Amino acid sequence: MKNKLFAYILITLFIFGCNNQVDGNESMLDDSDLISVDIVEPTPMSIQKKNSGEMKYNHPKIIEEVDKVENIIDGIKDISLNSKIEFSIFLEALEITGMDQEIISLEEMTLLVPSDEAFNTKFKNEDLNNLISDKILLTNIINSHLLPYKFKEKSMKKFSHLDTFSKSLDIETINKKIIINENINILSSDHEVSNGFFHVINSVIIPKGIESDDQSYNSLEDNAEKIPISELIEKDLLVESLIKGSSIYNFSADFTLNIQFNEDGNYSGKFLCNRIFGTYNLSEEGYLVINQGASTKMFCFPPSDNVELDTQEIWEFILNEDIEILASTEYSKIYFKSIDGYLLLKEN
């Protein structure tokens, strides 16, 4: 027992002495004995999802793509597919006239779109066929359905009339519904496209002047037939009026275009107070092409500046268009018709 106690005391003393020796050694070290060591912080590793490999943190929020607002043509086609209402006549008219691209290019617009049923109700089959073949009338009709600003249906209710590119529309609101020109209703409204809105209507808007008998295009079609240039040879033709788009120019016999064609491909005549002469030919499609000629240089004194400016419209018309020649035996009229309008002439 004594031996065990003595051994325990020796071990305790030994451990105590070693600790004192270490402390004494540490106190003897100075700064020169220390080695400087740079401690490099560990770079945090990206934490990844095990199932997809996407970053778990700082991952950008994914935003779903928003459908782009479509152009007017695609919008009308979509409505046709979804509603089973056909718009093939109006779409064909837009394409024939090139107004489809014109409308798309507008910064702002509102279009009133008549259905096929609206066209078939307004026109007989024969008249509808004539309409589709006439770019001038088609353009006027489309312009009568085209407004230059964006209008939702509720915005239209604020006005008593709205001006299209061709005519002014009368607007009434009855029982919260819009009535256009007394009998035209909006069937489907507020279809938004990239540059405005379109509304489906139940009738066709006819431009002012086309409805009247004296300016009716149908009377021109019914009484006029295409004729060859040979039937005009050596005739003295005098321009009475120019119908260009929605504009009508009338001329007096003293201040207008007077022209004769000969069989050698030359023309001559009078323009205002000067003599004119030049050449003409027929295009491969059979259209009359009147080439720029020469004239005398007399100074003219028309009764007003408007007379000279209006008469200049004639010359610009026949020099820049392929002309289709038509004649009406009933009224003894000659028509020089082009895509932008027509000249009405008579034999002098």
Verify that 278 and 343 share a domain, yes or no. yes
Verify that 193 and 280 share a domain, yes or no. no
Verify that 180 and 256 share a domain, yes or no. no
Share of the chain above pLDDT 70, in %: 72
pTM (two decimals): 0.46
Least confident of 47-56, 87-96, 194-203: 47-56
| Containing structural domain, residue 132 | 72-201
Q: Is residue 43 pLDDT above 60, yes or no?
A: no
Residue 215 within a domain: no
- Mean predicted confidence (pLDDT) in 102-129: 86
- Mean predicted confidence (pLDDT) in 325-340: 79
Q: Is residue 60 pLDDT above 50, yes or no?
A: no
How many other CB atoms are found less than 10 A from the CB of residue 248?
Answer: 13
- Mean predicted confidence (pLDDT) in 306-313: 76
Share of the chain above pLDDT 90, in %: 23
Verify that 265 and 300 share a domain, yes or no. yes
Verify that 329 and 240 share a domain, yes or no. yes
Residue 28 within a domain: no
Query: Domain holding 185: CATH number?
Result: 2.30.180.10
pLDDT at residue 153, rounded to an integer? 92
pLDDT digits (tens, 9 = 90+) for 174-193: 888 888 987 888 989 999 99
Of 129, 157, 162, nearest to 144 by C-alpha is 162
Verify that 81 and 197 share a domain, yes or no. yes
Verify that 256 and 325 share a domain, yes or no. yes
Verify that 195 and 263 share a domain, yes or no. no
Q: Map tokens 């496209």 to a residue.
A: 193
The tokens for 268 are 């001559």
How many other CB atoms are found less than 10 A from the CB of residue 300?
Answer: 12
Q: Check if the beta carbon of residue 145 is closer than 8 Å to that of residue 107.
A: no
Verify that 159 and 232 share a domain, yes or no. no
How many other CB atoms are found less than 10 A from the CB of residue 170?
Answer: 13
Verify that 342 and 278 share a domain, yes or no. yes
Query: Domain holding 308: CATH number?
Result: 2.40.128.270
- Mean predicted confidence (pLDDT) in 67-96: 84
pLDDT at residue 259, rounded to an integer? 93
Residue, of 309 and 189, whose pLDDT is higher: 189
Domain count, the chain: 2
Q: Check if the beta carbon of residue 172 is closer than 8 Å to that of residue 179.
A: yes
